[in-house]
Amino acid sequence: MSLITRAPRGTEDKLPADIHKWHTAEKVTKAVAESYGCKEIRTPTFEHTVLFQRGMGGTTDVVQKEMYTFDDKKGRSITLKPEGTAGAARAAVEHGLTGQALPLKLFYFTSCFRYEAPQSGRLREHRQFGVEFYGAAKPLADAEVICLANDVFTRLGIKNTRLEINSIGCPVCRNQYKELLTEYYKEQKMCGLCNERLERNPLRLLDCKNDSCREINKDTPVITKYVCGDCETHFSAVKTALNAFNISFVENPRLVRGLDYYTNTVFEFKSDSLGAQDTFCAGGRYDGLIEEIGGGKIAGLGFGMGLDRLILVMQAQGLDFEPAKSCDLYIAALDTGAELAAAKLVKELREQGFWAETDLAGRGLGAQMKYADKLGARFSMVLGSNETESGTAVIKNMQSGEKREVALNAERVKLCLIEF
């Protein structure tokens, strides 16, 4: 009988043999975020579509082309979240978190959904670690958010990351820059996608990957020459703080982000270990987002870090992951009388926090020991009528072959596992 279906294109199963890699990434990112005072938030997998249309901007490629949007049974437009920031901002406003002590610092792990051609480490469903700061308007906050991401890479041992930063100004000076861009691009012969983008959001043309468009972009006006005095002062202070933190960076005047809510500082962390699709962490400031979705005038900033790509970087650089957990003790039962004694002892050891196993498939002794090997069991024990009658059994170290006799009660076995 053939399998009735396979996982949809652009999705991926995370199998038990690899899940420890995800545990490593999640453990370190969580620990670093908490050291910065961030608290975890969990938001729904789907939201009302209007949240993304208003928050991210109706002219962005994500909203126009990439969202998984559908009507529910009552005709309401619902969207699987394509990124984590809008949902976190909505939750913070809805539950009054932005009215509490500020700055509010949040982090989350979430699945994001985008209908686009699957890329290495960027599937149609991909996992993201995100950080959000609300109520932190000072340039030092921009540097702190960047530093948080950089600390994650340091803790994981990732080398040779490249930080690119830019300022895209405030809405006022950016709109003036967009007019200059529009006039420039109208005189150029661009790809079809860029012709579409020109009317919606000319900033997106700066990020085109088409070779001919890249040549055109070499002569575009540079946004940092047109930002207002306040934005220039803010960006200068961010760079001063990054230098004080000993974080190297490259100014990329053509770096833009694909969502309309960004203002002032934007940044990306890149790694040559990923090939052409080299960005694996990106973010910036979005001071107008909270107000746009119905809250007050509250500054916001943060980043999203693709966990799929983070793990690809670690693998490419040969970094260590926390080892997958292995079985502490396998108890083989020789006969029906010993099965219950083995199961009872396994239950008691599990209550003590040990991974203990016994046979559930009716195997013979040889097959049970092969199964213990496949589990990577550190120790094994064989129970038969002699052991259950005497109240003692032998624990064997599966690596060294050393053996010790122990009384058949959970406390004595526990001590033996710890001391052996």
pLDDT in the model for residue 403: 96
Of 113, 173, 123, 133, give the one whose Cα is nearest residue 284. Answer: 133
Phi/psi at 410 (5° precision): -60, -35
pLDDT in the model for residue 57: 67
Annotated domain spans of the chain: 19-170+227-316, 329-419
Architecture (CATH level 2) of domain 329-419: 3-Layer(aba) Sandwich (3.40)
Helices 307-316 & 19-35 angle (0-180, nearest 10)? 110
Q: Which two tokens stand for residue 58?
A: 């109706």
pLDDT in the model for residue 59: 59
Contact yes or no for 369/410 (Cβ under 8 A): no
Contact yes or no for 350/300 (Cβ under 8 A): no
> Phi-psi category of 218—alpha, beta or left, where left has phi over 0 and alpha has psi -120 to 50?
alpha
pLDDT in the model for residue 10: 93
Give, in degrees to the nearest 5, the angle at Cα 165 between 137 and 151: 75
Total residues found in the chain within this entry:
420
pLDDT in the model for residue 255: 86
What single letter denotes the amino acid at residue 256?
Answer: V
- pLDDT in tens for each of the 420 residues of the chain? 789 999 999 999 999 999 999 999 999 999 999 999 999 999 999 999 999 988 776 556 677 778 999 999 999 999 999 999 999 999 999 999 999 999 999 999 999 999 988 887 789 999 999 999 999 999 999 999 999 999 999 999 999 999 999 999 998 888 888 888 888 888 888 888 788 777 777 877 777 778 888 888 888 888 888 899 999 999 999 999 999 999 999 999 888 876 667 889 999 999 988 877 789 999 999 999 999 999 999 999 999 999 999 999 999 999 999 999 999 999 999 999 899 999 999 999 999 999 999 999 999 999 999 999 999 999 999 999 999 999 999 999 999 999 999 999 999 999 999 988
pLDDT in the model for residue 77: 96
What single letter denotes the amino acid at residue 2?
Answer: S
pLDDT in the model for residue 122: 80
CA-to-CA separations, 365 to 361, 369, 385, in angstroms, rounded: 12, 6, 14
Instruction: Give CATH for domain 19-170+227-316.
Output: 3.30.930.10
Phi/psi at 376 (5° precision): 70, 30
Find the radius of gyration of the CA atoms of the chain: 28
